[in-house]
Amino acid sequence: DYVPMVIAAAWIFLHPRQYGVDFPKLDAQPATLKLAKSTTIYELTICLGSMGTRDGYMRALRNLNPRYESDGWIPAGTVINATNRIASLYTRYCVNGPRADLARTLITADLNNAIVRSSSAPEYVPSVAVGDVSQMAGVPTTVATGKPVVAKPKAKQVRNYTIAKGDTLGRVAQKYQCEIKELAKANGLKAPSYALKPGQSIKLAGCDR
């Protein structure tokens, strides 16, 4: 699609009246310019203004003087490339006068000094709107964050069981859904026998029922 667009643009340029196009008249007659004082392309762009052009003169100055950076200082007496219009505007606006002074002030301004910091300003303490923090049953809400905190489950009370005749530790663990190793450890019973006596009281540790 790119090639047809270029051809169409070239055709319109060659036949502007046929398509109702008016091109601005440009004064691009090349000229040289001797700087009366040190400057930068940025400063020249400001003091030259945009008279006779929509976009100003920075692009033209950069293209005509590729050896210089836009923010680099060019010494006084240096001859730079320009156009007749740029040379005329330079003599009128960039050597002396209010526009030249404004351009120099803007270019040499220290941005850090433009920021005023007051040491006596009160310390800012941010506040966060919590919104509706209606408390749910069993779920307390913290004041600082407004976020619900899950209530810690209450520790289970350990029950006791009295060993009956014929009971084994495995049978007791199965009946009360216990971890047999935890049950044995809580009652000081050693594997593999887990010896129990009728009438013996054991703690039902780690049991779900």
pLDDT in tens, 53-90: 778 899 999 999 999 999 999 999 999 999 999 999 99
Query: Domain check: are 107 and 164 in the same one?
Result: no
Which value, to the nearest 10 degrees, does the dihedral of the CA atoms of residues 180, 182, 183, 187 take? 140
Other C-beta atoms closer than 10 Å to the C-beta of 61 total 23
Contact 103, 70 (CB under 8 A): no
Q: Which two tokens stand for residue 14?
A: 């060659």
Residue 176 has a pLDDT of 85
End-of-domain residue from the set 75, 95, 111 = 111
Query: Domain check: are 179 and 105 in the same one?
Result: no
Residue 66 has a pLDDT of 95
Instruction: Count up the domains in the chain and report the number.
Output: 2
CATH number at residue 172: 3.10.350.10
Query: Domain check: are 29 and 93 in the same one?
Result: yes
Residue 45 has a pLDDT of 95
Residue 188 within a domain: yes
Domain residue limits at 168: 160-203
Residue 142 has a pLDDT of 54
Residue 93 has a pLDDT of 96
Query: Domain check: are 36 and 107 in the same one?
Result: yes
Beta strand 160-162 pairing with 30-34: unpaired
Q: Which residues of the chain have pLDDT under 50?
A: none
Using a CB cutoff of 8 Å and minimum separation of 24, what contacts does 72-76 make? 72/40, 72/41, 73/38, 73/39, 73/40, 74/35, 74/38, 74/39, 74/40, 74/41, 75/35, 75/38, 76/35, 76/36, 76/37, 76/38
